[in-house]
Structure 1
Amino acid sequence: MNIALSVSDLHVSYYGNEAITNVNFTIEKGNLVGIIGPNGAGKSTLLKALLSLIPIDKGNIRICGKQIHEIRKKVAYVPQRNDIDWDFPITVLDAVLIGTYPKLGLLKRPKKKEKEWAYECLEQVHMENFAHRQIGELSGGQQQRVFLARALAQKSELFFLDEPFVGVDVSSEKTIINVLKELRDEGKTVFVVHHDLSKAHSYFDQLVLINKELIECGEVESVFRPEVMAKAYKDQFSFLNEVGINV
């Protein structure tokens, strides 16, 4: 089966207010997928609902044909930077080593093999020279690269990243998107909550466009059309024109 993610009739609410309603879409394996939409559209809510990090009202979510609890070890999640306690006293290497824990088993600690793998993951994001720094001493872009390295350490099949490019420098953004494209080329499936529409064509294979409900899902060219984007962004015509969508 070539389906990475299938979502049907998904509804999520906060305190009685619907955040997402009647969302249905399917994504095949081996795609780099952007989840886009205006502020407050429910992008992060959708991502967390897919991973069962928040409760849903109703709906059916299947990851590689299974429920999330059956396949969680094959799924990596990189949260928004503001969801992380950067004051926690942990080194860069130890942060990445956490990614090896799910496959170690109960009460087992990482050994030489896991530490070597963690260094390899840091090398992929060009952070190996910071292995013994405290995580709180790093810049925003460096921190984001470390948490991508932690996700790589999990040896997952699917990757879910929530706004990974917010507050990062140009070099870090380039490193991150290159790693994500390499994962895609290896047959992995990557989902990225993203807000910079100007990068949509160069970053993603497919887009999930939402604004409380699904507006469109498909190839970038089919979603990134004026008449489709205007349904999500509604009166924000000047904003769409700024990113090259003439409405």
Structure 2
Amino acid sequence: MTQTAISIEDLHVSYFGNEAIRHVSLNVEPGNLVGIIGPNGAGKSTLLKAMLGLIPRDKGQVKILDKPVKEVRKQIAYVPQRNDIDWDFPITVLDAVLLGTYPRLKRFRRPGKKERQWALECLARVGMDAFSKRQIGELSGGQQQRVFLARALAQQADVFFLDEPFVGVDASSEETIVKILKELGEQGKTVVVVHHDLSKANEYFNQLILLNKELIGFGTVGDVLQSKVIERAYQGQFAFMNGMGV
């Protein structure tokens, strides 16, 4: 029986009594690169955090790799939005990536030579090994995002969640990140990304979740990026979307 990477059933989330997302149900199979798209305030980051159990759910069920999230935490990597991270925290680039090795260490054990070498390999993969001794706060936005992707890689996870990873990054860093995400998909890993730029959705992903508080569309990029489907989600912003050729 084939394992399902992500299963969501009738998910509802609210903040202070205000409905954020409702009636979201879908299944993601392993090896897919999935973009979560939708207008501002659509609940994209809320959906991501609810899947991870980082915020409470009003109702509904989420399973990762056919199990409750708390049972498969070690197999899940999460890269939060950059503005959710304390960049003044006194930690080097290498130490930040080493944090990704902790979930697979035995209790009370600290990273050793093997883990440091693996962390350096992950930094090399994102082109940041020359910055290993730098403080993370000294890096540019794109460099910081690469480091946190390296931390996710160091975790050797099966499912990756990234919240707006391309915001505030340079073109070179964006290209590097996309390349690695595609490699992960080719390795059978599942990648879910909150993204706001529809013009690159076809280039970056093979599946899309289109959200506007409820699920408007889910499936292949070609199926979701249909004008009638997009219009339902973006409504008044649709004229702008037409200008992009959607």
2:10 is equivalent to residue 3 of structure 1: no
Deviating beyond 3 angstroms after TM superposition, the runs of 4 or more aligned structure 1 residues are none
Question: Within 5 Å, which residues of 2 pair with 1:213-232?
Answer: 213-232=214-233
Q: Residue 128 of structure 1 aligns with which residue?
A: 129
CA deviation after TM superposition for structure 1 residue 2, in Å: 3.3
Q: Secondary structure in 1 aligned to 2:193?
A: strand
User: What's the CA shift string for 1:189-232, capped at 9, x where partnerless?
Assistant: 00000001000111001000000000010000000000000000
Q: Residue 155 of structure 2 aligns with which residue?
A: 154
Question: Within 5 Å, which residues of 2 pair with 1:68-87?
Answer: 68-87=69-88
Q: Residue 28 of structure 2 aligns with which residue?
A: 27
2:230–2:238 CA contact under 8 A, matched in 1: no
Distance 1:178 1:90 in 2: 27
Question: Within 5 Å, which residues of 2 pair with 1:95-174?
Answer: 95-174=96-175
Question: Within 5 Å, which residues of 2 pair with 1:41-52?
Answer: 41-52=42-53
Q: Residue 233 of structure 1 aligns with which residue?
A: 234
Unaligned runs of 5+ in 1: none
Letter in 2 for 1:40: G
Q: Secondary structure in 2 aligned to 1:192?
A: strand
Distance 2:108 2:54 in 1: 24
Distance 2:55 2:183 in 1: 30
CA deviation after TM superposition for structure 1 residue 242, in Å: 2.6
CA deviation after TM superposition for structure 1 residue 107, in Å: 1.4
Unaligned runs of 5+ in 2: none
User: What's the CA shift string for 1:10-50, capped at 9, x where partnerless?
Assistant: 00000000000110111111000000000000000000000
CA deviation after TM superposition for structure 1 residue 243, in Å: 2.0
Distance 2:230 2:238 in 1: 10
Distance 2:244 2:24 in 1: 26
Q: Secondary structure in 1 aligned to 2:153?
A: helix
Q: Residue 63 of structure 1 aligns with which residue?
A: 64
Q: Residue 184 of structure 1 aligns with which residue?
A: 185
Q: More deviation in 236-245 or 99-108?
A: 236-245
Q: Residue 38 of structure 2 aligns with which residue?
A: 37
Letter in 2 for 1:182: E
CA deviation after TM superposition for structure 1 residue 100, in Å: 0.3
CA deviation after TM superposition for structure 1 residue 161, in Å: 0.1
Letter in 1 for 2:128: M
Q: Secondary structure in 1 aligned to 2:219?
A: strand
CA deviation after TM superposition for structure 1 residue 239, in Å: 1.8
Q: Secondary structure in 2 aligned to 1:208?
A: strand
Q: Secondary structure in 2 aligned to 1:35?
A: strand
Distance 2:243 2:19 in 1: 30
TM-score for both structures, normalised by structure 2: 0.99
2:181–2:191 CA contact under 8 A, matched in 1: yes
Distance 1:90 1:119 in 2: 15
Distance 2:150 2:228 in 1: 38
User: What's the CA shift string for 1:64-110, capped at 9, x where partnerless?
Assistant: 11000010100000000000000000000000000000111221110
2:3–2:66 CA contact under 8 A, matched in 1: no
Aligned positions, number? 245
Percent of pairs with identical residues: 67
Q: Secondary structure in 2 aligned to 1:133?
A: coil
